[in-house]
A and B are shown apart, each in its own frame.
Chain A
Amino acid sequence: MDAKVWALAGILLVTAATFYIGFRSSRTANTTQDFLVARRTVRSRRNAAAVSGEYLSAASFLGVAGLVLKDGADALWYPVGFTAGYLALMLFVAAPLRRSGAYTLPDFCEARLGSRALRGLAAAFVVFIGILYVVPQLQAAGLALANVLPVPTWVGALLVTIVVIVNVFGGGMRAITVVQAFQYWLKLFAIAAPTFVMCVLFIGNGGPRGGAITGLTEDLPPTFTKATTVRVDTPVTVRVDKAVVLSADGTVDGTPASGTVYWPAGEHTADAGTDLHFSPGSSVPVVLGAPADNASWLRPAAGAGDLFATYSLMLALFLGTMGLPHVLVRFYTNPDGRAARRTSLHILLLLSLFYLFPILLGALSRLYVPELLVTGRTDAAVLLLPTKIAPGLLGQILGAVTTAGAFAAFLSTSSGLVVSVSGVLSTDVLRGRVRDFRFATAIAGGAPLALAIVLRPSDISLSVGMSFAMAASTFCPVLLLGVWWRRLTWVGAAAGMIVGGGLVLTSLVLNTVSGFTGDWAPGVFGQPALITVPVAFLTVILVSKATQNKLPADLAQIRLRMHAPDGLGFIRDRAVARFGTAEERARLADGRHRK
């Protein structure tokens, strides 16, 4: 009970700090440009912290450790890919994107290719991807709060939505920038401090040999260190490598059971609502599809299918980051292209620093919370590990710190998504005044909240790999070719987005259907990027070549603007051109504004 009080205190503290910081930095925001792009005044270090704060969502804060716990060495590619995406962004997109002077991703499409139709299509994709991302954040927040307070799950979702909407309402991008930068450092502390303490305790206890624990290098499944009860919420199939005796209460292997059950090596099932009791020292059954023993957990991809999955994941992550609309819009807040490039360099540093800790925590979890492997719900590892390693007050406080960090992740990612979706809604559907932005915020926050309450968490659980595959197959080709290839036309870009997005959606649907009807789909549908990304690129190129009469008229000018160094002063701010005061527009019109 005490642990819950501490965790609740952590959550409330983070929420209050977020609210206060957002409120304080909202005071200076009063024009459309403040709300859309923070008046282009965010320096590279501040912006790097804000981007990292927004990017480190629940998938990074909780998910990476969980994946390492479950999949071992192969899961290490997730943090590497999450970081490498920013190298691609820096090398190919960051500076030209900022210099284009656009204020949203659809606006960039229109600036580069001069087509209202493409702008509309891009806006639809941004809103779709945005809502798809917010819903799981809200649901996770709901579950996190329901774990520490006896309230229904919608309360947590509502709490996050209110804080986010109030912040975005008050200051738009201006307020969110400071909030997200603060939350990066908060999350870094919330994962680094517990990791340090737990590593010290782990080594102090004599390492893996201190307890009766299976070492990570041994050719054996992990073992329970103490008597453990696992509750199965959704039907699960596990693989047993070493025969295990347990006592079950519910339905096991298709027959009702209450009492002792003997599981020989092989595959076994447990139905929803079953309680499984394990005694200390017995080996852990591992959910199907994950390596069952520690030795194979420790090794990277061993089969050809695994190798394909690894490469497909690498491609999706390396190229997907540059297609995430809520990340891209942050680069528009930098004063110039050079600052945008430096921002991505700082991001590389900040993310590298952060990701060392979830990897360590994932490996520790394999020793201390192996019971999560039975159900496969390994995302809880970061939250449960502290109380397992350090019983008593210390563990409770560490647990509260990681819970608070997770809540910061929900808050900062959803604020970034809401601000980017409202930016697009207010300028593409409405007229782009501050009033419109605030109205759009209510929709961009309210619609996902309604979805999060109505849908069950499993309905919309888009895996991380899949959502990056989506981004890599839609916006990435348009951006890369838009910046570097002069013969791109809007028809080609639109065709590529539709084909790429359609293919990913199809494989998502097929994969889900096959999951319900006996897993007949081959692995390629689980991570389709290695197929869909090249197809999307090819479509864009071929269709563009066939429609060369649709080349934009001001091609040379926009290329000059995107690529000429900032010092020459060719940047023309499209936000000022559309929403600026008469004086600002006049200054823009009298030619270049050199530094």
Chain B
Amino acid sequence: MSRHAAGPPPPEKPYRDPPTKPRRKRVVLADSRAPVTVLRTVVELEEQTSYGEELVSQFVRHQFHIAIRLWVLAVGILAAVPAVFFLVPTLAEVNVAGVRLPWLVIGVLPFPLLFGVGYWYNRVAERQEQAFVAMVEK
């Protein structure tokens, strides 16, 4: 109550804590918007030192290799289908569960194949990215 005992303080006078009783202070350890601890490797990546550039190139090469391998796998299987039916026409006459083989092989099977390859790629690519982040931040 000591502050108000002498009436309202003049507006231009800055407010001061009473000296006897220290007020509770809020201590901010980290501003959520401030940059987190700067890591050496991240800086190297950003400033494009030869080491940083080599790291990126290697990572890009890894990602490309897995993508192209899975692409060749999926497209290789699909592209073989017309050729096989062209070279072995009797195969097109085979019935499986009442449906002609080509209709199953072209009309149904590619869809699970495509999704399976996509799912596989998603897992591998995300794992490679996590490994890269871990390597950079270690």
Residues of A within 8 A of B111 (CB): 80, 83, 352, 355-356
Stretch at the interface among B11-19, B21-29, B112-120: B112-120
User: How far is the CB of A307 from the nearest CB of chain B, in Å?
Assistant: 5
The verdict on A76 contacting B42 (CB below 8 Å), with A83-B111, A318-B75, A559-B60 known, is no
CB of A591 within 8 A of CB of B82, answer: no
The verdict on A341 contacting B125 (CB below 8 Å), with A84-B74, A87-B114, A300-B82 known, is yes
CB of A300 within 8 A of CB of B85, answer: yes
CB of A91 within 8 A of CB of B67, answer: yes
Residues of B within 8 A of A311 (CB): 79, 82
B36 is an interface residue with CB less than 8 A from chain A: yes
CB of A348 within 8 A of CB of B114, answer: yes
User: How far is the CB of B73 from the nearest CB of chain A, in Å?
Assistant: 11
CA A79 – CA B110 in complex, angstroms? 10
CB of A348 within 8 A of CB of B118, answer: yes
CB of A587 within 8 A of CB of B36, answer: no
Residues of B within 8 A of A217 (CB): 100
Residues of B within 8 A of A300 (CB): 81-82, 85-86, 92, 102, 106
| B-contact 0/1 string along A283-306, CB 8 Å cutoff | 000000000000000111110000
Q: In chain A, residues 41-89, which have Cβ atoms closer than 8 Å to a Cβ of chain B?
A: 73, 76-77, 79-80, 83-84, 86-88
A383 is an interface residue with CB less than 8 A from chain B: no
Stretch at the interface among A124-132, A250-258, A502-510, A563-571: A563-571
The verdict on A91 contacting B121 (CB below 8 Å), with A307-B86, A338-B129, A349-B115 known, is yes
Chain B contact patch, size range: 35 or more
CA A565 – CA B41 in complex, angstroms? 14
CB of B133 within 8 A of CB of A567, answer: yes
CB of B78 within 8 A of CB of A556, answer: no
CA A74 – CA B72 in complex, angstroms? 22
User: How far is the CB of B96 from the nearest CB of chain A, in Å?
Assistant: 13
User: How far is the CB of B135 from the nearest CB of chain A, in Å?
Assistant: 11
CA A318 – CA B103 in complex, angstroms? 20
Residues of A within 8 A of B112 (CB): 352
Residues of B within 8 A of A76 (CB): 102-103, 106-107
CB of A73 within 8 A of CB of B89, answer: no
Q: In chain B, residues 48-82, which have Cβ atoms closer than 8 Å to a Cβ of chain A?
A: 48, 53, 56, 59-60, 63-64, 67-68, 70-71, 74-75, 78-79, 81-82
- Number of residue pairs across A and B with beta carbons under 8 Å? 143
CB of A563 within 8 A of CB of B59, answer: yes
Partner of B71, one of A92, A95, A349, A557: A92
Residues of chain A at interface, number, CB under 8 A: 54
CA A86 – CA B118 in complex, angstroms? 9
Report the nearest A residue to B63, measured CB to CB: A563
Residues of A within 8 A of B125 (CB): 95, 341
CB of B110 within 8 A of CB of A84, answer: yes
CA A566 – CA B109 in complex, angstroms? 34
CA A352 – CA B68 in complex, angstroms? 22
A345 is an interface residue with CB less than 8 A from chain B: yes
Report the nearest A residue to B87, measured CB to CB: A307
User: How far is the CB of B64 from the nearest CB of chain A, in Å?
Assistant: 6
B5 is an interface residue with CB less than 8 A from chain A: no
CB of A345 within 8 A of CB of B119, answer: yes
Report the nearest A residue to B34, measured CB to CB: A590
Partner of A91, one of B45, B59, B70, B86: B70
CA A580 – CA B49 in complex, angstroms? 31
CB of A345 within 8 A of CB of B118, answer: yes
CB of A301 within 8 A of CB of B114, answer: no
Partner of B83, one of A90, A307, A568: A307
CA A88 – CA B73 in complex, angstroms? 12
User: How far is the CB of A557 from the nearest CB of chain B, in Å?
Assistant: 7
CA A92 – CA B74 in complex, angstroms? 14
Residues of B within 8 A of A344 (CB): 118
CA A547 – CA B86 in complex, angstroms? 44
User: How far is the CB of B47 from the nearest CB of chain A, in Å?
Assistant: 10
A560 is an interface residue with CB less than 8 A from chain B: yes
A456 is an interface residue with CB less than 8 A from chain B: no
Report the nearest B residue to A592, measured CB to CB: B35
Residues of A within 8 A of B64 (CB): 484
- Listed residue (B42, B68, B85, B111) with the most chain A CB atoms within 10 angstroms of its CB: B111
What are 20 of the A-B contact pairs (CB < 8 Å)?
Answer: A73-B106, A76-B103, A76-B107, A84-B75, A84-B110, A86-B114, A87-B74, A298-B100, A299-B102, A300-B82, A300-B85, A301-B86, A307-B82, A338-B126, A341-B122, A349-B115, A352-B111, A484-B60, A564-B132, A594-B35
Interface residues of B (CB under 8 A from A): 33, 35-36, 42, 45-46, 48, 53, 56, 59-60, 63-64, 67-68, 70-71, 74-75, 78-79, 81-83, 85-86, 89, 92, 100, 102-103, 106-108, 110-112, 114-115, 117-119, 121-122, 125-126, 129-130, 132-133, 136
Extra A-B contacts (16), CB below 8 Å, given A352-B111, A594-B35: A80-B106, A87-B74, A91-B70, A91-B71, A300-B85, A338-B129, A352-B115, A355-B111, A356-B111, A557-B48, A560-B48, A567-B129, A570-B46, A590-B33, A590-B35, A592-B42
Pairs A-B, 4 closest by C-beta atoms: A352-B111, A565-B129, A91-B67, A76-B106
